[in-house]
Structure 1
Amino acid sequence: MKQRIEGFSLIELMIVVAIIALLAMVAYPSYMETVRETRRTEGIALINKVMQAQERHFINNLTYTTDLTDLGMAVATNLPSENGHYQISAAACAGGLPIDECINVVATAQGSQAVEGNLGLSSRGEKTGNWED
């Protein structure tokens, strides 16, 4: 009685590896795009939080501020987001508008998130950057 041992040939194994590689080539870029979108949401949430604090400060003082500690934040400028993918700063709006009329809050992308670019929101509701999810 002869037993036959069955298994995979090298060719069959290489075909399976090639199929997995092709699937990975398609899936990885899509995965990275989803990761960047999630990180962008983190930046947008922090911009909105800082802008709400700016509006509360404006109601009480009739001016905006570029010093984020005036808003109760931990640092005066370059406030990092929770996972460090953005740094938030505030500046007077472009075009010579005074700080008591307009403020621009900017989230500067850090590290691998830099391919997404920076996000901005002014007190006039003007958005800059890629806000779409």
Structure 2
Amino acid sequence: MKAQMQKGFTLIELMIVVAIIGILAAIAIPQYQNYVSRTQVTRLVGEMSSLKTAVEERMSRNAATNTIADLGYTASNLSSNAAVAMDASAGTASITATLNGNVASAVNGGVVTVSRGADGIWSCEVTASSNTGWDDSFAPAGCPVGS
């Protein structure tokens, strides 16, 4: 009598595969969520930083800037309350935006501020969101989390 050949997978093999997939998902999903949060903060910093040239140009002409639209800013799906405060005579400026809208819940409410000092040096600061899940590693390099 011939022994029957096994065809297919046994139940224990399938259970092991499902357990491995579950472990990988438990590690990968939170890491992906952190990655998305970091990229959203970094993107908003980039959007605000892209307005530096327009601010410098207006300052060199001593032109008044009343709204952020004066700088050519187009509203982003990541932010609201984008604003500019500029004092051409003092040589200072501040561009701010709040993360909300289509963003991860961990970064919702965080504020990005790009500032120009009277010495002409630009700086960046991220104000942390009060939501649970915020991690200071969400702020990009060169743009520290302020208090």
Whether the TM-score (by the shorter chain) exceeds 0.5 is yes
Measured against aligned partners, the alpha-carbon deviations of 1:13-62 in whole angstroms (never above 9, x if no partner) come to 11110111001111111122222222222212111111221111111125
Quote how far apart the aligned CAs of 1:114 are: 5.1
Give the RMSD, CA atoms, in angstroms: 2.5
More helix by share: 1
The answer on whether the counterparts of 1:66 and 1:89 sit within 8 Å (CA) in structure 2 is no
More strand by share: 2
Measured against aligned partners, the alpha-carbon deviations of 1:36-95 in whole angstroms (never above 9, x if no partner) come to 2222222121111112211111111255x2412322335xxxx32xxx123462243xxx
Counterpart residue type for residue 128 of structure 1? E
1-structure distance, mates of 2:49, 2:78:
16
2:131 equivalent to 1:131: no
Normalised by the size of structure 2, how large is the TM-score?
Answer: 0.66
The answer on whether the counterparts of 2:36 and 2:104 sit within 8 Å (CA) in structure 1 is no
Number of positions where the alignment pairs a residue of Structure 1 with one of Structure 2: 120
Q: Secondary structure at the match of 1:4?
A: coil
1-structure distance, mates of 2:67, 2:49:
16
Q: Secondary structure at the match of 2:35?
A: helix
The answer on whether the counterparts of 1:44 and 1:119 sit within 8 Å (CA) in structure 2 is yes
The answer on whether the counterparts of 1:105 and 1:121 sit within 8 Å (CA) in structure 2 is yes
1-structure distance, mates of 2:73, 2:103:
25
Counterpart residue type for residue 19 of structure 1? I
2-structure distance, mates of 1:88, 1:57:
21
Identity among equivalent positions (%) equals: 31
1-structure distance, mates of 2:71, 2:55:
7
Residue 112 of structure 1 corresponds to which residue in structure 2? 103
| Structure 1 consecutive aligned stretches of length 4 or more whose deviation exceeds 6 Å | none
Q: 1:114 to 1:106 in 2, by over 3 A?
A: farther
Counterpart residue type for residue 95 of structure 2? V
Q: Secondary structure at the match of 1:127?
A: strand
1-structure distance, mates of 2:78, 2:105:
8
2-structure distance, mates of 1:121, 1:50:
9
